[in-house]
Structure 1
Amino acid sequence: MSVFDVQIGALTGDGFVGLEQFRGTAMLVVNLASKCGLTPQYAGLQVLHETYADRGLTVLGVPSNQFAGQEPGTPAEIAEFARSTFGATFPITEKVDVNGAGRHPLYAALVDTADDEDHSGDVRWNFEKFLVDPDGVVVARFAPQVAPESPEITAAIERVLPR
């Protein structure tokens, strides 16, 4: 199963964000939290979105409240926070579980990929990042502390951009 076969709810409003719409583009999937020490990474995610969207990258934010309750907000609160605090315009999905028995199918498709420290399996913390190539293959995983605009992430993005 490709990542692009997954359906995930939209953050606000009705319906789903069918990941099929992103087939043919690269995707950086990031679990978000608004009350975390790493929350300023929203700014870097927005920079990536603005820098690479025209070249075929989608930054996909996925709120999760599984780490110390650091994403407690309602969908409307999460959307307002992202927009007003960081000017976030990249797509954000519904709040989901990224670990455990209730793990969303998107994360089931992501977590077997290892990062540079050979960690695979459960997401460790907020802002863990997964890079998906235009064919839906997970090609890289980055620890939460790796900044979105870091050379490791931008080089990996450059390698998989479709245009």
Structure 2
Amino acid sequence: MNKKVLLWSGAAVIGLLAAGAAIGQSLPSKAKQTPSTKLSKGAPMTHVTPISASAAQFDGLMGGQIDLTDYRGKVVLVVNTASQCGYTGQYAGLETLYKARQREGLVIVGVPSNDFGGQEPGSASEIKKFCELNYGVTFPMAAKYVVRGNAAHPFYKAALTALGPKAEPKWNFHKILIGKDGRPVAAFASAVTPQSSELGQAITSALSAR
């Protein structure tokens, strides 16, 4: 074979090897590659903002304040209530749930509202008397508030922003679950009872979270 051909072939091979090495150096190693920011299945929704201090403040039914930030480290179930509703019997289930899981760190806060069918027309003292005499309610009760629309209490506006339309009450005894870190976790329609497995599992999961 011609010596010139051999020399050219050798130079070409060396050139190709050098180019390959340069390309290899320009590629990041596996250790240097940016990790994916995609959340794994079941990962917490860290983009959800905790309820702000201003949105966490409720007037108490008989005076004083209910401050949801006082319950950080606990799980809070906020329920809009009414005394003349087909779901009013859920007061009994809520009280049972509260007594059963209070030691685990569950707090229930009732928020009376006259938004749906005018089914909570009573005064604060009438609501208190009704709840205690008929259902033995011992969990905290807020003053009467609007819970949907432009005039809604800031808590409900914050929950709507965090969880979307499912967080807006469609009727009495709608439920919003707040995790230990103050972030809204889930919302449940009125028909989901306090003793339902759906709600129970969500509470258990929230209580077991760190």
Pairing 1:8–2:58 present: yes
**Offset of residue 20 of structure 1:** 1.6
Contact 2:156 2:167 (8 Å CA) reproduced? no
- Give 3-state SS (helix, strand or coil) of 2:66's partner: strand
How do residues 119-130 of structure 1 correspond to structure 2 at under 5 angstroms?
119-120=165-166, 122-130=168-176
User: What amino acid sits opposite 1:84 in the alignment?
Assistant: L
Work out which of the residue numbers 130, 142, 158 in structure 1 matches 2:204: 158
For the pair 1:136 / 2:136, whether they are aligned, the reply is no
Task: Report the CA distance between 1:39 and its aligned residue.
Answer: 0.2
Amino acid at match of 1:132: I
- Residues of 1 paired with 2:133 and 2:143: CA distance? 18
TM-score (normalised: structure 2) = 0.71
Identity over aligned residues, as a percent?
A: 42
Q: Decide which of 80, 85, 95 is 1:46's aligned counterpart.
A: 95
The aligned counterpart of 1:69 is 118
Q: Secondary structure in 1 aligned to 2:166?
A: coil
Alignment pair present for 1:89 and 2:138: yes
- Cα RMSD for the two superposed structures: 1.6
- Structure 2, gaps ≥5 residues long: 1-48
Instruction: In structure 1, list runs of 5 or more residues that go unmatched.
Output: none
CA distance in 1, matches of 2:50, 2:145: 19
In the TM superposition, residue 136 of structure 1 has moved relative to its aligned partner by 0.7
Amino acid at match of 1:147: T
CA distance in 1, matches of 2:186, 2:57: 21
State the AA in 2 paired with 1:26: V
By how many angstroms is 1:4 displaced? 5.9
8 A contact 1:4–1:19 mirrored in 2:
no
Moved over 2 A (4+): 1-4, 119-122
| Aligned length, in residue pairs | 158
Q: Specify the structure having the higher radius of gyration (Cα).
A: 2
**TM-score scaled by structure 1?**
0.91
